Amino acid sequence: MISPETTTVTTGYTTFDSPLGELLLVGEESATAPGGTALTSLSMPEQRGVTVQPHWRRGPGPFAEAVRQLRAYFAGELTRFELAFRTGGTDFQERVWRALEAIPYGTTTTYGRLADVVGVPRGDVRALGAAIGANPLLILRPCHRVIGADGTMRGYAAGVERKVALLRHEGALQPTLI
């Protein structure tokens, strides 16, 4: 009996020093992605559930374009990312994450408005919030742009203070004067 060939996907990672702390970029080999790597995760310090795995390969090369775009974003020179992603969410999560990408730089939307866009009944807004909270590509899929209907900053996987910092960076919030 001949055993079927198994394909092994190589996962790589690198880190990037940003104004928000050290970012962890994780990706998988992809024949169709520019640079040969599709991003699977971008996380921030103290983010729950994100740890480097022993079998991952460290190397900045496959992430050069992502790092270039992130540098340009933090320098105020880039407002939309053009990168290849490969995420493994449910159909619902993927639909929500794609809707996040449509929220323009420098703006915010509410959970209720995003629910309308995605077609989620108002009674299921918690499911929408859970999908947003599971977004593996912080900054790139801008879940930080979703706020409460009353303007309050709701949860953010990397901490509300980083959400506020991102919104200030994008000009969606005015700096606090002391």
The residues annotated with a catalytic role in the active site are 143
The residue among 9, 30, 18 whose CA lies nearest residue 69 is: 18
The identity of residue 83, as a single letter, is L
Question: CA 65, 69, 71, 76: dihedral to nearest 10 degrees?
Answer: 160
List the structure tokens of 34: 């520019």
Name, in order, each residue with C-beta under 8 angstroms of 129's C-beta and a sequence gap of 6 or more: 111, 154, 155
Side-chain half-sphere CA neighbours of 53 within 13 A = 9
